[in-house]
Structure 1
Amino acid sequence: MPEPLLHLEGVHTHIGQYHILQGVDLTVPAGGLTMLLGRNGAGKTTTLRSIMGLWQPSQGKVVFDGAEIGGMATADIARQGISYVPENMGLFSNLTVQENMVLAARKGPMDEARLDWIFQLFPALRKFWRLPAGNLSGGQKQMLAIARAIAEPRRLLLVDEPTKGLAPSIVEALIEAFLDLKRSETTILLVEQNFHMACAVGDSVAVMDDGRVVHGGAMAELAEDEALQQRLLGLSLDTES
């Protein structure tokens, strides 16, 4: 098993009066793709936001590459090499695709080789380079959101439900893109409801319920065990769903 790049130990997060995360223990191995699964309301998005410092943990440790980042400001966490793609994608709809990408490259002009690589991942972005982001389809917007997150090299990519509401053909395109990202040795923590996507790209998996991680292991093992899927996720899942 690769060394963990990210480790959460006993993380609690409160949002107002609500105690959302109730002792999350989570390990994300370096260089792989970890799926974070669970029912709606289990605490998956809160976990990503707590890692990114958008919501501050009230207790526990968030350790990235051996250093504690819990309690740091979001901008400082991003400087450690962590990117976050929220469910709402966080795009500037009135700006062009190009302008969105320029803003994401905070260290200066984008490296042309890296931009060519991103265009290979998401060819539609080259086609619509000078169009406003608001004119893109839902799938194209999701591609732009991910492209923004990797405009510069990142050590860890956090992605929240990238396939939500997308057509199956777009889901397949995103699967190929994430497989390519894995080959680039980018470590990814991915929240997803599409079990076909999870099976296709996941190396390891953590399943959340009621603010805790209740299962961890290989994604392939969960994919093969329908009884375990039923117990953990409350659904009879298959790879076509």
Structure 2
Amino acid sequence: MAEALLTLEGVHTHIGQYHILQGVDLTVPRGGLTVLLGRNGAGKTTTLRTIMGLWKPSRGRVTFAGRDIAGLSTPDIARAGIAYVPEAMGIFSDLTVAENMTLAARRGPPDKARLDWIFAFFPALRRFWSQPAGVLSGGQKQMLAIARAVVEPRALILVDEPTKGIAPAIIDNMIGAFAELKREGTTILLVEQNFRFAAALGDTVAVMDDGRVVHRDRMAALAADEAAQTRLLGLTLDAHQ
């Protein structure tokens, strides 16, 4: 297995009076795609938000590229090379697609070659380039959210359920885009319920339950083990497709 780019060690996160993460241990190997699975309420989104500094861990270490980032602000974590695509997408509906992309580019106007690469997977973004992002469909907004995260190369991308409510044709384009990101060396941590998508892309998998990681494996091994799927997730992967 490749060296770890990101590790969480004994991470606890409280939100108000609620103790959501209860000692999360997670390793994300460099250059691969790690899938984070679990039933609703297991703590998957809280894990991503804790990594990104949106919620502060009350205990434990979050180490990225050898540096403890648990105490950093969200902007500093982003500057360190981590991008986040939340389930809510986080786009600016009143701004044009072009303006959304420009805001996401830290080093000035987006690079033309990079935009052409993005348009190859998400051609609707070229078509609506000068239109307000609010006119996009749900699937097109998800394309824009992902495109914003990858408008510049990032070391690590955190993605929360990118295929939720998205048409199969767009999902196929996303598979191509994420596969290409992997080929260029980007590390991805993905929360996902579409197991066809997860199995097509995932290298490693971690399963969460009740605020902890309870199972780690190769994604291919879990995809082939229906008994483990039922034990850990309640349903087999086939039942989720």
TM-score per shorter chain, which class? over 0.9
Q: Does 1:29 align with 2:65?
A: no
2:148 maps to 148
Q: Does 1:128 align with 2:133?
A: no
Give SS of 2:126's match: helix
Give identity over the alignment, percent. 73
1:173 maps to 173
- Measured in 1, the distance between the counterparts of 2:125 and 2:165 equals 20
Post-superposition Cα deviations, 1:174-218, rounded to whole Å, max 9, x if no partner, equal 112211211121100000011111101101000000000001110
User: Which 5+ residue runs of structure 1 have no aligned equivalent?
Assistant: none
Compared CA separation, residues 223 and 239, structure 1 to 2 (3 A)? farther
- 1:30-69 equivalence runs, <5 A: 30-69=30-69
Does the Cα contact within 8 Å between 2:193 and 2:240 map onto a contact in 1? no
| Alignment length (residue pairs) | 241
Answer with 67-76 or 117-126: which moved more.
Answer: 117-126
Q: Structure 1 runs of 4+ off > 4 angstroms?
A: none
Q: Which amino acid aligns with 2:29?
A: P
- Measured in 2, the distance between the counterparts of 1:237 and 1:156 equals 26
2:100 maps to 100
Give SS of 2:238's match: coil
Q: Which amino acid aligns with 1:21?
A: L
Compared CA separation, residues 121 and 184, structure 1 to 2 (3 A)? farther
Compared CA separation, residues 96 and 84, structure 1 to 2 (3 A)? same
- Measured in 1, the distance between the counterparts of 2:230 and 2:169 equals 27
- Measured in 1, the distance between the counterparts of 2:239 and 2:174 equals 16
- 1:213-232 equivalence runs, <5 A: 213-232=213-232
1:237 CA drift (Å): 2.3
- TM-score normalised by the chain length of structure 1: 0.98
2:89 maps to 89
CA RMSD of aligned residues (A): 1.1
1:113 CA drift (Å): 1.3
2:211 maps to 211
Post-superposition Cα deviations, 1:26-63, rounded to whole Å, max 9, x if no partner, equal 00000000000000000000000000000000000000
- Measured in 2, the distance between the counterparts of 1:67 and 1:4 equals 12
- TM-score normalised by the chain length of structure 2: 0.98
Post-superposition Cα deviations, 1:82-136, rounded to whole Å, max 9, x if no partner, equal 0000000000001111010011112212221111111122111111111111111
Give SS of 1:6's match: strand
Does the Cα contact within 8 Å between 2:8 and 2:24 map onto a contact in 1? yes
Answer with 169-178 or 180-189: which moved more.
Answer: 169-178
Does the Cα contact within 8 Å between 1:24 and 1:212 map onto a contact in 2? yes
Give SS of 2:179's match: helix
- 1:190-205 equivalence runs, <5 A: 190-205=190-205
- Measured in 2, the distance between the counterparts of 1:227 and 1:88 equals 33
1:117 maps to 117
1:239 CA drift (Å): 7.7
Answer with 43-52 or 179-188: which moved more.
Answer: 179-188
